[in-house]
Chains A and B, each alone.
Chain A
Amino acid sequence: MEHRSHVYGVVAEFETAEQLLHAAEKVRLAGYGAFEAYTPFPLEGLAEAMALGRNAVPLITLLGGLLGGLGGFGLQYWVSVIAYAENIGGRSLNSWPAFIPVTFEMTVLGASLAAVFGMLALNGLPRPHHPLFNVQRFAKHASTDRFFLCIEATDPKFNLSESSRFLKSLSAANVSEVEDD
């Protein structure tokens, strides 16, 4: 790719979590919308600094749990009352207390599957490659000991030289351009 027209964004590297938290807040207040922070562990306070708000994982989990629970009870009801009704000494066919354990297990199963696969889907994973992996220092340190912040080119306020200068002013250890591919 000799024609280097595609720029994904500009990424800054920070040595400490505090610097990143500070920078994330500043970038947001400067009016940028399309930016993302990258940390080697879940950093407390970052979601607030970036004003991420709530996410949809709990709702998806609730729906998965409801689906699992209703499906589990419905299956047992259908099997025991409709499909394979057996009169055993006149006992009631819909003996719901006996159906509670399986209903409970199916609720937990549905909710857990929804939580995990919902989280992955919302995160757009699996996605083996990402433009940021083109940045050597990112690939080497983002999952170990450094904190990164990337302003993306899709942001209307994005300007390669200006955004870079802005990031440098936020005590970034390193600022580099991210090539798209």
Chain B
Amino acid sequence: MSTRPPYNTADPRPVVPILEPGHTYASVTDKISAIVLTRPTSLGWVAGFALTFTLVMVLTVAVAWLFAQGVGIWGINIPIGWGFAIVNFVWWIGIGHAGTLISAILFLLNQQWRTSINRFAEAMTLFAVACAGLFPLLHTGRPWMAYYMFPYPSTMYLWPQFRSPLIWDVFAVSTYGTVSLLFWGVGLIPDLATLRDRAVTKPKQIIYGMLAMGWRGSARHWHRYQSAYLLLAGLATPLVLSVHTVVSFDFAIAIVPGWHTTIFPPYFVAGAIYSGFAMVLSIAIPLRKAYDLEDFITMRHLENMAKVMLATGLIVAYGYFFEYFMSIYSGQKFDLYLTKMRFHGPYSHFYYMLILCNILTPQLLWIRKVRTNVPALFVMSLVINTGMWLERFVIVVISLTRDFMPSAWGRYSATIWDYATFAGTLGLFTMLLFLFVRVLPAISIAEMRELVRHTSGEHE
């Protein structure tokens, strides 16, 4: 979309391209569409799918038992009413944020390196939002009555309480899911047309043909398409910032010690992007290896993502520091006590693990050798995702176990069903990704052609 050079040419180090040279419109099209159309299903794919499908079956059993018995099968009880369900909800929704950041914010900032990673990052967003949405739904205890949360003219003359952050959350998450789907769907239309035209079997031609809606690449269509895409990017940008802000309001508006702070919205958003980029790396590294996409997802992409992780990780570290500082500075005994509990309480090992995973380990990313070492980056991405999960655990559980009155203190430990549900959503997320790479182009073909034109134009 721009003629600006995609990298800083003043940098004396050798520049790693965002697209290996020598590619043409036809070669990028062939390579990406072949993954879907002609490549035989590999044994690795079948094994991965089987494993993740098994986890989805675990989820089904856990959810069925939950419906039969109620939320009592989980480890939650008063005072800890928000256990794994809310920890997992916040974790999953945060992961989704990187997809929108890559597809919308980097698009508006004209970052060409986003091109080969935006499609699967958007898919990741959708699947993460789907997993996230499950948890509050199941946590309601009576998920078949979840429609009570939407404003509709009921025979009971009841309406939702619009002054509650929990209702804001319903609107924020459902809007986020819908807009992410639209953004992803619009991006897919030209590629579905390519698949329609290249498919050789009748069923594929018909299915992709229906999904492509008759797209034929007309200049007038592209003209409106680009307007719509740009506007969607502009709309998704404040939206993604609002979603985790609203999620943080679920905590910040309550008066529980450790929750009632104004730093929560920005620090939740930074944490969301941090964990999301870690998840994009966890997906990109095996994906480029399995489907030989090293030409498209180059070292530059991995290094850039590592830099984003380092930067957002530092913002998160700043957030932790200020939580600590404000509790000391406030002189409030409940806040002080909570901080003491984080360091010395029954869950202090979670807090120390969190500092190790989220603050100390990622400092290795300052070293270029680490940023360009693929296995090290993969391990780092898993460590950061673990760290971000622990962060939510620390926020949710430690605060609830130690609020104002000692008579209301309690302990929390997850049950086998908590773990089964969490593992199940990990399986669901990965299974959907496995299906996605086999039936839809994991990299935007039309945008890669555009990149071919821009990069070849520069060499002329």
Contact = CB atoms under 8 A, between A and B. Distances in A.
A and B: partners? yes
Interface of A: 17, 24, 36-44, 46-47, 50, 52, 55-58, 61, 65, 75-76, 79-80, 83-84, 95, 98-99, 101-102, 104-106, 108-109, 111-113, 115-116, 118-120, 122-123, 125-130, 132-133, 139-140, 142-145
A119 B197 contact: no
B434 to A, nearest CB: 26
B216 A38 contact: yes
A39 B151 contact: no
Considering residues B151, B223, B226, B242, which has the most beta carbons from chain A within 10 angstroms of its beta carbon? B223
B353 to A, nearest CB: 33
A36 B218 contact: yes
Contacts of B193: 143
B30 to A, nearest CB: 8
Nearest to A123: B221
Interface stretch (B122-130, B161-169, B295-303, B385-393): B161-169
Contacts of A84: 157-159
B171 interface: yes
Summarize A's interface: helix, strand, loop or mixed: helix
B179 A119 contact: no
Which residue of A36, A119, A122 has the most chain B CB atoms within 10 A of its CB atom?
Answer: A119
A42 B450 contact: yes
A52 B209 CA distance: 28
Contacts of A95: 163
Contacts of B238: 104, 108
Interface in B61-78: none
A38 to B, nearest CB: 5
Contact of B163 (A38, A75, A98, A108): A98
* Among B25, B29, B163, B227: residue with most chain A CB under 10 A: B227
A128 B209 contact: yes
Contacts of B157: 83-84
B232 interface: yes
A111 B227 contact: no
Interface of B: 1, 24-26, 29, 151, 157-160, 162-163, 165, 167-168, 171-172, 175, 178-179, 182-183, 185-186, 190, 193-194, 196-198, 209-210, 213-228, 231-232, 235-236, 238-239, 242, 246, 249, 446-447, 449-450, 453
Nearest to A59: B227
B93 to A, nearest CB: 14
B162 to A, nearest CB: 5
Contact of A144 (B183, B198, B231, B249): B198
B213 A55 contact: no
Majority secondary structure, B binding face: helix
A145 B242 contact: no
B217 A101 contact: no
Best-buried of A101, A127, A139 by chain B (most CB within 10 Å): A101
Given A101-B249, A129-B214, 7 more contacts: A42-B450, A52-B220, A80-B163, A95-B163, A113-B182, A128-B214, A133-B216
21 contacts: A37-B218, A40-B194, A41-B450, A41-B453, A52-B223, A55-B227, A79-B160, A101-B246, A102-B168, A105-B175, A108-B239, A112-B182, A115-B232, A119-B186, A119-B224, A123-B224, A125-B214, A142-B217, A143-B190, A144-B26, A145-B29
Nearest to A111: B235
B163 A43 contact: no
A84 B162 CA distance: 11
Nearest to A39: B217
A143 B179 contact: no
Contacts, number: 188
A140 B216 CA distance: 11
Contacts of B182: 112-113, 116
Contacts of A120: 213
Contacts of B242: 101, 104-105, 108
B231 A61 contact: yes
Nearest to A147: B217
Contacts of A118: 228
B171 to A, nearest CB: 4
B167 A102 contact: yes
Which of A24, A95, A106, A115 has most B Cβ within 10 Å?
Answer: A115
A123 B220 contact: yes
Nearest to A129: B214
A40 B449 contact: yes
A23 to B, nearest CB: 12
Residue of B25, B29, B228 ringed by the most chain A CB atoms within 10 A: B228
A86 to B, nearest CB: 9
Given A79-B162, A143-B197, A116 B232 contact: yes
Nearest to B24: A145
Contact of A116 (B165, B186, B197, B222): B186
A126 B218 CA distance: 14
Nearest to B452: A41
